Structure 1
């Protein structure tokens, strides 16, 4: 694995962990907010408390089973480790960089697969590489909710027109 490959992989890992952290954190906070709002619905003049109870139960089970907050914490720590590698990238030898990357990679979280294309595209943009694939609509929505919807800027025609030549 060349140094260039390591740079790409470290950046990719950083971006996917960052997106995963943001996504899971937002899901966790959204569920918590819904639970609070539904908890206060007890005071509402609505007569069908059964529906509120079912929604609260489903949200509570989702939060307990998937543990979005805990998974977000793991992604945040991995994101910090990859950021440290990126900061120290220029000062580390190839062997030390490879060794530290493999060590950090051992503790990777399990990011959503739907974030992979967006993280790849973001890495290409960050490193100034060409990428000519499009992200599907569903993956774009998830990437947007994860806080990063990468878009490649298209080259503009830099021909200037003068007032004499519109």
Structure 2
């Protein structure tokens, strides 16, 4: 049984409450999870429960500093209650695999002060650039962000099923 409509937004709300991601809650969470330029979407599910989400999108003009990567992993999150099971690694591997299948480079952007930086590094992702974000936090500040590139070879892991949603 697939996850119920709205399940990703419900998980996103739990992530926002726990981690403050996204830093500004979107007026339309469902729309925020479906930006223009999507090349693929993946969810991690266990039974009927949606546990994680990731998107692969075309690089948006003016987003951060110029990069050689044509695609970007965005909207990556895992339910706080399901962390530590390799779901983020599996979601990232699925997105990287799609990019490789398209013959395109991929990267992601993360707030430099976020614990996610260390999590990505443990998965073999490496920082390639630091700069101020093109967006502002709720308090009006522009955080420093890290642009990260994937490891040379990424392999999916985790017990939950990861499937494409687009």
**TM superposition score category, shorter chain reference:** under 0.3
TM superposition score normalised by structure 2:
0.23
- The structure that has the greater radius of gyration is 1
TM superposition score normalised by structure 1:
0.23
Q: Which has the higher strand share?
A: 2
Q: Which has the higher helix share?
A: 1
